Amino acid sequence: MAPSRMKVFTSTLCTTLHTPAFEFLSGSETHFFESPDRRDVILKYLESQGDAFEVTERVEDFGAGPIERVHKQDFLDYLKTAYEEWIQEGGHPNGVLPGTIPHYKVARLGKLKAANCLAKSGEYCFDMSAVITKDTFKAAWNAAQVTLTAAKDLVRAADEYEKSVEAGSTTRENPPGLYALVRPPGHHAQSDICGGYCYLNNLAIAAQWLIDQPDLKSNADGGPKRIAILDIDFHHGNGTQEIFYSVANPLYTSLHSVDDYPYFTGSALEKGEGEGLGFNINIPLVQATTNDDYVETLDKLIQDHVIPFKPDYILVSLGVDTYKDDPIAGFLVTSEGYPRIGNSIRKIGVPTLFIQEGGYCIEKLGLNVGGILLGYMGKTGSL
Ligand code: SP5
Ligand code: ZN
């Protein structure tokens, strides 16, 4: 029998270390939507679901290696020292916020080197929603380590599953699922630029780590483990796309809003390059997307691209900012839609790690995230 409880990997540091005071939304100052209580309300909901979930705060230290495989050293050095430099240069204690971002029409980048933190804040960040507070780097580092801890457990769970299938004690319709409940999120963070509430790309770090393990071989071809990424956050994961744009493994797939943030990436014409050509699948959706539209598109994406890729593992960028009442985003997806989305992913039949990204309707955040995870387990939630 596959375990009926889903393991949840998290850490209180995901709540306490990164608590920016505000952000700007359409020109007005407002509270920070990617708020610390997001983790607490999700956890509270999961803990209310009988014994469906098993929460662990055990975090293994994987060191800098797996993070340096994905992010450039100068960017990591910047993130680590930015707040201190910012304060030394007279910046506001609220945190590092770029005032000047090197616009491509200015075209000076590469000729002039950013000489101070005021300049670097623009060089290493593409918008104004990724303020760097005193402990932001520690928070992002911790989120990456939690995600790696979950990825390592995915390997164990998948091996166990394979053995029970061989022994005939379970079927392929019952794949194991794990969940990394982390913040700050990651999918907008590119190899050397932060933005969109994201600093380190948790999912990309975990995916690369899985591919890099010399002892792990793909069931499909005996090479490195094959990973398919499903990015179901409302926003396009420009960071994950950029990091893996020229490789054939992992496969990156994304369903997202056609004309919302981050605006300049996410078109269906972005298909990857070099060896990665054909391994980047963007499916932009209109604002009026309903549960039926969403699930139908997701099922087709799975049939046409994910299953033919023969993945050993699925990594999901789990955003529920697709929800109809999300304060900064939102399709017409309702709370009834999420278990259906989880069920579609379950039907792939491949061990899956869910990694938390966006979702800002605090009142329904636990219900919606829980809906996906319970749907994946073939269960339904209760209020
Ligand atoms: C991880 C994640 O979900 N990051 C998203 C960051 C979005 N920040 C900018 C939001 C701009 C929203 N503009 C409102 C448009 C209304 N449709
Ligand atoms: Zn999002």
- Cα distance between the two ends of the chain: 28
- 3 state DSSP class of 343: helix
- 3 state DSSP class of 254: strand
Note the pLDDT tens digit of each residue in 208-230: 999 999 999 999 999 999 999 99
Kindly identify the ligand whose nearest atom is closest to the C-alpha of 195. Answer: 1
* pLDDT given for residue 1 in this prediction: 45
- Here the tokens at position 280 are 């980047």
Q: Nearest to residue 13, comparing CAs of 52, 47, 81, 61?
A: 61
Whose alpha carbon is nearest atom 11 of ligand 1? 261
Q: To which residue do tokens 């992992």 refer?
A: 250
Confirm or reject: Cβ of 186 under 6 Å from ligand 1: no
* pLDDT given for residue 345 in this prediction: 98
Give the residues of the chain that fall short of pLDDT 70: 1-3, 107-110, 383
Distance between CA atoms of residues 348 and 307, nearest Å: 7
* pLDDT given for residue 4 in this prediction: 78
The verdict on pTM exceeding 0.95 is yes
Q: Nearest to residue 255, comparing CAs of 228, 237, 278, 273?
A: 237
Distance between CA atoms of residues 37 and 28, nearest Å: 22
Q: Nearest to residue 265, comparing CAs of 246, 237, 289?
A: 237
Q: Is the CA virtual torsion 105, 247, 9, 356 positive or negative? A: positive
Distance between CA atoms of residues 236 and 284, nearest Å: 8
Q: Given the CA of residue 319, which atom of ligand 1 is nearest to it?
A: 3
Does residue 92 have an active-site annotation? no
Strand order in the sheet with 280-285: 53-56, 6-9, 177-180, 352-356, 313-318, 227-231, 251-257, 280-285
Confirm or reject: Cβ of 326 under 6 Å from ligand 1: no
**Packed helices 362-376 and 337-346: angle between N→C axes, nearest 10 degrees:** 30
* pLDDT given for residue 108 in this prediction: 63
> Where does the chain have alpha helices with state H?
13-16, 37-47, 65-68, 73-88, 117-123, 136-166, 202-212, 238-243, 291-301, 337-346, 362-376
Note the pLDDT tens digit of each residue in 33-87: 999 999 999 999 999 998 999 999 999 999 999 999 999 999 999 999 999 999 9
- Here the tokens at position 54 are 């098993």
Whose alpha carbon is nearest atom 1 of ligand 1? 358
Distance between CA atoms of residues 230 and 241, nearest Å: 11
Confirm or reject: Cβ of 236 under 6 Å from ligand 1: no
